[in-house]
Structure 1
């Protein structure tokens, strides 16, 4: 461990020397922003790079270094930076008015594009982020079922106030959460059997993103589908990140239809948006033409720029065919990493599926977050810094 600590300190020193302008920008930002940032995931020691430009698959930092962007803003920058087709759609929207205070044709078109892609979606509603989409889906499930408990999974992330690193988080919404272990078929089935008549929803990412890009076992998802139907529980697929894997997300790949789906990130063409949807019967709760309808408000739910960018992104850039091609290419890339690590005989593994890749310091695929050892976690900052140098 002493040699590892020395290696990390050496990398930090070289990193600081190479990025003086980013370091100065971070110091200035700390005057007005706690810790110098307004988004925790973007912070890393000794300081994060400040980016000033992006073009195609590359970004440029304040010190003039160019990087290949493998993060892609966690799906939101899926189309590359400054995509001309999307840029043109945004400029057109800006020219015609961005805050109309009324329905526009863009939201209808984007809703249609989403429902055509996802067979489980008959109707959708838009909101401002993936976090908001998940909050609305969970709240909808509580209303529809008349129950309060929500089954979630350890290490899952469903937004800034619905996250479970190491269990519960102090900032979480005060819902009645029940925690289970991802990919634990027997344990989760037993837990649902115990509290199923109190559960409003089970929410799951088909690939556990923040927990290490761990794909759900097909049998695990099939069990959840069977058990939720048995107990009258709504099954929610959080496909905010995983929807990019193929034209209909992971649910389309596996042929497992949830009751509700949440979307975000790339569906707004790189601009803020989120969506939740499901069957017409469930979504009728929000039909203002019906008595007792739920009021779903939000000034920017249908903001013109996001809707226009999303329409261009899904109809012209990330078409169903392009989505399938991108999955094939990215899965081939992931497998090439796996083969390279094996050929070099290093204990590293490219976990995940398609473009959802996480490098784990292990020789075998990671099936559960608990499989990731503390020792492996300690190597992450060294790998990260060396990749930036």
Structure 2
């Protein structure tokens, strides 16, 4: 690097650090009640937190309520919610039909310890809608659903190893960014690179004799909203069948990208699928389903059946809220409209980044997307590892100060109540941010 380039870089870093410090000061002054609640929470919760993804510097806002796609915080500010509970808030923060279903079952009693009137109807609705799900079982989270799918694959195949992808996320103990979490479930994992056709094919063939399953999202959510290339998915389906491994598609997030799920959208038929988040209608939910011959191993009346317990697998709140939302609110038309709004938002933000000459791109599909301040094609999380995350820190706090609730990692998720007016307002504010910080943000080469 030349002396001039080094001096320019140093000056930019100093300006960026100063801008972040000044923005944090304004954020702290604007949110004294949230700051105080956060400090008080540290007495019982490590770092004042019990869900890592909700933390950001200098402290996370404390939200006191929500209506439609709006949130209100402890200091009385209102935000347009572009987080949508990391995709679980598909229906918005209050829906009359779902609320009525929850109130009805609350009035009729809960923790009943028996099958209820909703679980079979929700199961039938899921099987009817998602082409690759012939049978389904419920649990309580996407993490649990993926654990059950992986354990099922190992039990069915008699093999041990699981192939995952660098940067993938399948739950709190199935986290594969930056070499994986020390808290991960103790399966023998083989790590491949997302969208690397040749390298992944070679690994499948190398480990095929002991490979129980390959698990992935059709579009990485936590990994940065990066979509799988069609020929990559085709290769995975063909190669797993050749070696007798199961293909597991994690649709905890992506099932919202099409009425028939992501696998229905792209015409893929995996062996197992995991679900979660929004399908519980705002209540805790997870599910794993797929081929009938695999799932029927869980039939309690069958000899040598797999046992699958869980006190709250069929809890009445998730079953009633889930069935009502899934069948009465999540129409094909409503889902299509929301995903079309997402496509428009992503295209507009990319156009603004291009016009302002900012080195950035917004990846994703439909209603899910992620802002990255990098100037290159993004095919896997490896392509964004070198990005300077300070730009996203600045962006997040500035958008919060401007009434737009966004994530610290740049992810955006829409919900059904969003309108074109919400999108237009957001892109105007985003463009103002790009202009305000044009001397600091990275430039295209």
Residue matched to 2:333: 321
CA distance in 2, matches of 1:367, 1:251: 19
Q: How does 1:154-233 map to 2 (within 5 A)?
A: 154-233=166-245
Q: What secondary structure is seen at the aligned counterpart in 2 of 1:276?
A: strand
Check conservation: 1:350, 1:357, Cα contact below 8 A: yes
Runs of 5+ in structure 1 lacking a partner? Answer: none
Alignment TM-score, normalising by the size of structure 1: 0.98
Task: Find the counterpart in structure 1 of residue 295 from structure 2.
Answer: 283
**2:377, 2:383 within 8 Å by CA — same for their partners in 1?**
no
TM-score by length of 2: 0.86
Shift of 1:96: 1.3
Establish whether residue 380 from structure 1 lines up as the match of residue 399 from structure 2. Answer: no
Counterpart check, 1:255 vs 2:271: no
Residues 331, 353 of structure 1: 8 Å contact kept = yes
Trace 1:238-317 onto structure 2 (pairs within 5 A).
Answer: 238-317=250-329
Equivalence for 2:353: 341
Mapped to 1, the partners of 2:81 and 2:366 lie a distance apart of 16
Deviation at 1:364, TM superposition (A): 4.5
The reply to whether residue 11 of structure 1 matches residue 38 of structure 2 is: no
- Secondary structure at the residue paired with 2:335? helix
**Pairwise CA RMSD:** 1.0
Counterpart position of 2:80 = 68
Bigger-Rg structure (1/2) = 2
| Separation (CA, whole Å) in 1 of partners of 2:354 and 2:365 | 18
- CA offset at residue 365 of structure 1? 4.2
1:136 is aligned to 148
**Hey, what does 2:368 align to over in structure 1?**
356
Cα deviation 1:109-132 (Å, max 9, x = unaligned): 110111111110011000010000
Q: Do 1:213 and 1:356's aligned partners in 2 also have CA atoms closer than 8 Å?
A: yes
Alignment check: 8 A CA contact 2:259 2:332 kept:
yes
* Equivalent-residue separation in structure 2 for 1:11 and 1:175 (angstroms): 43
- Tell me the residue number matched to 1:44: 56
- 1:57·1:68 contact (CA, 8 Å) conserved in 2? yes
Out of 65, 71, 93, the residue aligned to residue 59 of structure 1 is 71
Indicate conservation of the 8 Å contact 1:348/1:359, yes or no.
yes
SS of the residue corresponding to residue 224 of structure 2 reads coil
3-state SS, counterpart of residue 219 of structure 1: helix
Residue-pair matches, total? 389
Alpha-carbon distance, 1:380 to partner:
1.3
Question: C-alpha separation between the residues in 1 aligned to 2:216 and 2:179?
Answer: 15
Contact preservation (8 Å) 1:360, 1:376: no
8 Å Cα contact 2:340/2:367 also seen in 1 = no
Deviation at 1:297, TM superposition (A): 0.2
Once the 2 structures are TM-superposed, how far is the Cα of residue 337 of structure 1 from its aligned partner?
1.5
Task: Tell me, yes or no, if the aligned pair for 1:76 and 1:271 is still in contact at 8 Å.
Answer: no
1:215 CA drift (Å): 0.5
> Would you say the 8 A contact 1:56–1:83 is kept in 2?
yes
1:93 touches 1:304 (CA, 8 Å); kept in 2?
yes
Deviation at 1:374, TM superposition (A): 2.9
What secondary structure does 1:59 align onto? strand
| Residues 346-386 of structure 1 deviation map (CA, whole Å, 9 limit, x = unaligned) | 22211111111100113444111111143432311111111
- 2:91 is aligned with 1:82: no
Aligned 8 A contact 1:147 1:198 in 2: yes
Structure 1 CA distance for aligned equivalents of residues 336 and 267 of structure 2: 16
1:329 CA drift (Å): 2.2
**Bigger mean CA offset, 164-173 vs 329-338:** 329-338
Q: Is the 8 A contact 1:351 1:365 kept in 2?
A: no
Unaligned runs of 5+ in 2: 1-12, 402-445
**Greater shift after overlay, 2-11 or 140-149?**
2-11
Structure 1 equivalent of residue 160 of structure 2: 148
